[in-house]
Structure 1
Amino acid sequence: MDKEARFALAVSWIRDADGLLITAGAGNGVDSGLPDFRGDAGFWQAYPPLRDAGLTFQQIANPAGFARHPELSWGFYGHRLALYRNTTPHDGYARLLQWAAGMTHGAFVFTSNVDGQFQKAGFDPARVVECHGSIHAMQCLEPCCFRSWAADDFIPDVDVSRCELRNALPRCPYCGGVARPNILMFGDWHWVSAATEKQQAALTQWLGQVKRPVVVELGAGTVVPTVRLFSERMGQRIIRINPRDFSIPESMGVGIQQSALGGLQLLDAQRKLIE
């Protein structure tokens, strides 16, 4: 199928759908200026002190680090928290909201991103599944209980030259122990998944109502294929937008070789041409 035919088919699915399922990986945030940590080189470019310490993304994004050196772990996650709080979602989010507004059942989001950008862009928080958790929530490091809480009151003060937290470590309000982000990390047996389980239940209920869903997959990679595999379980009308890993069997959907924002802009322009 040539490029023109792929776009035409994708637009026809969007126009016919009664529900928009958005599935998004780290590549979706790149157009907002967020790093995706693709490989050690990209990660170390974003965090030179961790390069100097010889720490990989897998080593710092690991609960063991909080027990070993919590100030360093919170330096990394505190910097990310501040970054995500200060980031403006790219224009593609607004276009997705416009598409969903014309559909009977609106939109639902399934994302491996922990940045909270969909909620910040105006998506209903009750219609977002964060399958790896959220940096905007915390839990006990132990954990002492199966609870999480909002990180709103925590304002990290990070020494970026050392990637270390300078202010007091956040604490668990239930036991007083060290708190950590409510994120599924590498080698993580203590992630508190209650919030994500509640989100998943809401998505299941929504899917039961939608008769003609269209899936728009944005920036989902193959290294951690959670989002891609989820998309492929959702039916045969998947629009996979990715600058590199865009291939998909024609029996499942269409692939568009673009960044998340670029693909959404092109689809939106095509959609408006035939209105």
Structure 2
Amino acid sequence: MNPIDQQLIQRAKSAIGEAEYIVIGGGAGLSAAAGIEYSGVRFTRNFQPFIEKYGLTDMYSSGFYPFKTQEERWAYWARHISLNRYEAASTKLYTDLHQWVQNHNYFVITTNVDSQFEKAGFPQHQIFEIQGNYGYLQCAAGCHDKLYNNEALVKAMVQHTVDCRIPSELVPKCPVCGGEMNPHLRIDQYFVQDGKWYERNASYNEFLRAAECKKTVYLELGVGYNTPGIIRYPFEKLTYRNEHATLIRFNRHNPEGMEGNEDKTISFTGDMQEVITSLLN
């Protein structure tokens, strides 16, 4: 690493070391940097039959593909969920991140739905998965607010997929209204916010309030402009309002920050794993 990078490393170490509160925001770029990529070789290696049959190009856009039947739709989603939630072990980037902050007072908000924070050792009660979690199903019409663990069903779907279809008897139906089910992802206005969601939302907001005028680090990891109003913009505003705050941003393509925060922002544009490793040394 060059000297200027080392200066940034030391500034980040000092900020974390002195912080009374650390607010961690994890975006899609964090999981991508950890190796959970939705395109490229990882996609083509795991979805070849779906690519050949439907012309799919990546896991993100494939989630919006208009499958003609529920049997086809769930064959795809079962493979998607299995790969990213159940087959993916805890990654080194997430475990290193946990090691970096584990002895500090922190809370996590993430738009990621792959449970990597939990797998790395972050306590569940300190993680707010605002956009959902691959491990659950919900009523597609949001007729009630209960979520359903899908592990056994997803594994059965994958096991019994033939020609990109699952057996009709495995297609999930809402136990209340009898309608279709969805993965628990914020894809429309029917996203279910259950009791646990509201508890974590309240805990997160309470943590933000407690950190307002304290030595606080807003640690933004791989957050782009897909949903900037959840992490990126709030972190910038909170940093701007708190004279004791530091924003540490990991973003290869959009490292620039809000005007007025220049002296409070530490931006890393290099390989996230390499930077976190340097921060641990």
TM more than 0.5: yes
Aligned equivalent of 2:180: 178
Aligned residues of 2:153 and 2:170 also touching (Cα < 8 A): no
Q: TM-score, normalised on structure 1?
A: 0.80
Per the TM alignment, residue 77 of structure 1 is displaced from its structure 2 partner at its CA by: 2.1
Per the TM alignment, residue 35 of structure 1 is displaced from its structure 2 partner at its CA by: 1.5
- CA offset digits 1:121-167 (Å, max 9, x no partner): 11111111112111111111123213323224323333778544346
Aligned residues of 2:113 and 2:132 also touching (Cα < 8 A): yes
Q: Alpha carbons of 1:174 and 1:153: their partners in 2 closer, same or farther (altered >3 Å)? A: farther
Per the TM alignment, residue 47 of structure 1 is displaced from its structure 2 partner at its CA by: 3.9
**Does the residue aligned with 2:154 lie in a helix, a strand or coil?**
coil
Distance in 2, matches of 1:115 and 1:175, equals: 28
Aligned residues of 1:23 and 1:217 also touching (Cα < 8 A): yes
Aligned residues of 1:21 and 1:107 also touching (Cα < 8 A): yes
Aligned equivalent of 2:192: 192
Aligned equivalent of 1:263: 275
Per the TM alignment, residue 30 of structure 1 is displaced from its structure 2 partner at its CA by: 2.5
Aligned residues of 2:34 and 2:93 also touching (Cα < 8 A): no
Aligned identity (percent) is: 25
Per the TM alignment, residue 113 of structure 1 is displaced from its structure 2 partner at its CA by: 0.7
Per the TM alignment, residue 224 of structure 1 is displaced from its structure 2 partner at its CA by: 3.8
Per the TM alignment, residue 29 of structure 1 is displaced from its structure 2 partner at its CA by: 1.5
- Cα RMSD of the aligned pairs, angstroms, is 3.0
The question of 1:118 aligning with 2:117 is answered: yes
Distance in 1, matches of 2:252 and 2:112, equals: 18
- CA offset digits 1:92-117 (Å, max 9, x no partner): 323333333332xx221111111011
The AA in structure 2 aligned to 1:245 is: N
Aligned equivalent of 1:272: none
Distance in 2, matches of 1:42 and 1:227, equals: 27
Query: Which deviates the most, 41-50 or 92-101?
Result: 41-50
Aligned equivalent of 2:16: 14
Distance in 1, matches of 2:233 and 2:45, equals: 29
Structure 2 residue corresponding to 1:169, chosen from 162, 168, 171: 171
Per the TM alignment, residue 13 of structure 1 is displaced from its structure 2 partner at its CA by: 0.6
Give matches, 1:185-264, under 5 Å: 185=187, 188-194=188-194, 195-210=196-211, 211-225=214-228, 226-235=230-239, 236-248=245-257, 250-264=262-276
Aligned residues of 1:241 and 1:263 also touching (Cα < 8 A): no
- CA offset digits 1:54-81 (Å, max 9, x no partner): 457676434x947x53223322321122
Per the TM alignment, residue 50 of structure 1 is displaced from its structure 2 partner at its CA by: 4.5
Q: Tell me the matched-pair count.
A: 261
Query: Which deviates the most, 4-13 or 155-164?
Result: 155-164
Q: Alpha carbons of 1:184 and 1:25: their partners in 2 closer, same or farther (altered >3 Å)? A: same
**Does the residue aligned with 1:244 lie in a helix, a strand or coil?**
coil
Q: Alpha carbons of 1:43 and 1:82: their partners in 2 closer, same or farther (altered >3 Å)? A: closer
Aligned equivalent of 2:70: 70
Distance in 2, matches of 1:71 and 1:252, equals: 51
Distance in 1, matches of 2:181 and 2:69, equals: 13
The AA in structure 1 aligned to 2:266 is: V
Query: Which deviates the most, 9-18 or 201-210?
Result: 201-210
Distance in 2, matches of 1:127 and 1:176, equals: 34
Is there any run of 5+ residues in structure 1 with no aligned partner, and where?
270-275
Per the TM alignment, residue 255 of structure 1 is displaced from its structure 2 partner at its CA by: 0.8
Aligned residues of 1:232 and 1:252 also touching (Cα < 8 A): no
Q: TM-score, normalised on structure 2?
A: 0.79
Distance in 2, matches of 1:209 and 1:55, equals: 46
Q: Alpha carbons of 1:223 and 1:141: their partners in 2 closer, same or farther (altered >3 Å)? A: closer
The AA in structure 1 aligned to 2:114 is: D
Is there any run of 5+ residues in structure 2 with no aligned partner, and where?
240-244
Give matches, 1:131-146, under 5 Å: 131-146=130-145
Query: Which deviates the most, 160-169 or 120-129?
Result: 160-169
